Amino acid sequence: MIELKRKDGESVNAFLYRFYKRVRQSGLMKEAKRRRFYSARPNKRARRDSTLYRIEKHKEMERLRKLGKL
């Protein structure tokens, strides 16, 4: 956690600049974005099922294409 105190006579803009600079240097935003869009890898069975589904769909599309229905 980042804590800053405003210095005597420091303008709000200067304080915000100093704060955002400290946030960038700490890497907090980069870490938060990484966690926000993280998705767990599917397990082995889910990957296999997905692959088999794609193969079957591909075969069906090829069959329909040969029959002239696509």
Which value, to the nearest 10 degrees, does the dihedral of the CA atoms of residues 29, 34, 36, 42 take? -170
In contact, 15 and 6? CB cutoff 8 Å = yes
Length of the chain: 70
Q: Are 30 and 46 part of one and the same domain?
A: no
| Global pTM value | 0.48
Does pLDDT of 7 surpass 90? yes
Residue in the structure block whose two tokens are 């294409």: 65
Total structural domains in the chain?
2
Note the helical H segments in 1-70: 12-26, 28-36, 44-67
Identify the domain containing residue 4 by its residue range. Answer: 1-39
Q: Are 29 and 4 part of one and the same domain?
A: yes
Q: Are 9 and 30 part of one and the same domain?
A: yes
pLDDT: which is higher, 25 or 1: 25
Q: Are 46 and 62 part of one and the same domain?
A: yes
- Tens of pLDDT, residue by residue over 30-59, are 899 889 988 888 999 999 999 999 999 999
Q: Which tokens belong to 49?
A: 């099922």
Q: Are 1 and 35 part of one and the same domain?
A: yes
Q: Are 16 and 2 part of one and the same domain?
A: yes
- Tens of pLDDT, residue by residue over 12-25, are 999 999 999 999 99
